[in-house]
Chain A
Amino acid sequence: MNISLNITTTITEFLSGFMSEGAANIGTMVVIALIYLAIFAVAGLYLVLLERKVAAWFQLRLGPNRVGPWGLLQTMADALKLVSKELTGTVKADKFLYNLAPYFVIVSSLMALAVFPFTKEFQAFDINIGLFFLIAISSIGVIGILLGGWASNNKFALIGAMRSGVQTISYELSVGLSLITMVLLTGTLQLSEIIEVQKNGWLIVQGHIPAIIAFMIYMIAGTAETNRAPFDMVEAESELGAGFHTEYSGMKFAYFFLAEFINMFIIAAVATTVFFGGWLSPFGITESIPWLGVFWFIGKTFMLVFLMMWFRWTFPRLRVDQLLTLEWKYLLPLNLLNIILMALIVWLNLTIQF
């Protein structure tokens, strides 16, 4: 296996100092998995806090500010509470699938994180089908939701899960097609090479009109895929209790909750990588200091996360039929037209290059 990336090689070299080669490889995988798990458990918690703070500011409130300075420890306290809670379940639930579902959701969202280049060297797994891998992995999460809804043996959970199936399968198309539009421009699916291409200008500038259309479609479909308001048909508190996770409590509920926020981060991170140049700084201002790329990447991602929160606290929710009308009658035809437009622009060399 030829993984020539800094964190992986550093850890492998460190471990092979006192282990055999095979053990060092496995050790590297475990260490990297633990690092990613730790980082994103904490990141997920702080995304929840950010969401609550942003929601408060949109509604002229203060938000959580009691636990720790500015409420920074609020979600830690919440997580601690959820860990200590009893795991309840329904009597007639399908126990195996019921317990499996949260892990499907959380594992699929954590797997997707592996392929992101946080900066030039900081990437756990650089495969040549990166973008395709991301689209495929993000579709697996819906199986967890369907399993959870089905195995709960609860009609609200089942309705929520079925709606989730309808919604995710529909909007998956738009996410995929809008990313394919950009792949026409980059000519590669590998995320690190997509960023190399953007050294001549971010793709949203290079591709101008069709890139902006693709970005808008991607953000709409991405918001729908994370099952957040205004597309929260799946959880719909007012209609379905809590949707597919009605019967889950304690840590299993926390997995679903955390997965939703990590998914939001993933959607924003894909948009950052594909449209806004990933870890590249604007006009190359910090090119001499490579580790600053992490901050550019995280900064751009959080701007897009904020955009999704802005959507959530502004727009009214859609009905199920409106949801499907939006996808099949508007986003999908526009997306197909957009691909043709992008293909013409690439063919006629009308891209903007710096």
Chain B
Amino acid sequence: MSYFGDIVKGIKTLLTGMSVTGKYFITSRKGAITQQYPDNRETLKMFERFRGEVVMPHDENNEHRCTGCQKCEIACPNGTIEIIWDRQIDPESGKKKKMIDQHIYHLGMCTMCGLCIEACPTDAIVWAQNFENSVYDRSSLTKVLNQPGSKLKAGVEE
């Protein structure tokens, strides 16, 4: 008789569901995922995969990995990245070489799609997990990613 079979099956599946939520209820004290944000501002750490803004990491010698290839500028769908570059004489080899002057990033236009970071051949730009991005003036959303006086790290271009 499938009528009574259905009833038994129905009760069994309902109890399965209740046991799942019941386990969650019991462990909710330890596993609460809510962050009480302004209270734990000092200790709050965002996840690795969180897309806050695009940054260019510099090492202790103030050297970055950006060669000025402009692939990120081309990859960006809404013109967020602007690279100002020129050819200068490299002091080591004495040859003329393409170098970046300013890597300009308009955070106000960025949709956090990540295409620039995927396009970068030298991993010069990465995601930062900073989420407090609001400012009082729109102009401060335009950021220059390379620090003043920074230069290309040796060996990146090989």
Contact = CB atoms under 8 A, between A and B. Distances in A.
Contacts of A92: none
Interface in B63-111: none
Contacts of A1: none
B133 interface: no
Contacts of B25: 54, 57-58, 310
B24 A310 contact: no
A334 B7 contact: yes
A311 B14 CA distance: 9
Nearest to B22: A310
Interface string B1-45: 000000100010010011011101100110111101000000000
Given A310-B22, A314-B21, A57 B14 contact: no
B31 A60 contact: yes
A57 to B, nearest CB: 4
B22 A60 contact: no
A295 interface: no
Interface residues on A, range: 10 to 19
A310 B18 contact: yes
B24 A58 contact: yes
A216 B22 CA distance: 18
B36 A62 contact: yes
B32 A314 contact: no
A310 B18 CA distance: 7
A54 B21 CA distance: 11
B152 to A, nearest CB: 47
Interface string A243-280: 00000000000000000000000000000000000000
A61 B18 contact: no
Interface string B110-136: 000000000000000000000000000
22 contacts: A56-B28, A58-B24, A59-B24, A60-B24, A60-B28, A60-B31, A60-B33, A60-B34, A61-B28, A61-B33, A62-B32, A62-B34, A310-B18, A310-B21, A310-B22, A310-B25, A313-B21, A314-B17, A314-B18, A314-B20, A330-B7, A334-B7
Interface of B: 7, 11, 14, 17-18, 20-22, 24-25, 28-29, 31-34, 36
Given A60-B32, A61-B33, A310-B21, 10 more contacts: A61-B32, A61-B34, A62-B32, A216-B11, A310-B25, A314-B14, A314-B20, A315-B14, A315-B17, A330-B7
Interface of A: 54, 56-62, 216, 310-311, 313-315, 330, 334
Give the 9 A-B residue pairs with the shortest CB-CB distance, closest first.
A57-B28, A314-B21, A62-B34, A314-B17, A61-B34, A60-B33, A314-B18, A58-B25, A57-B25
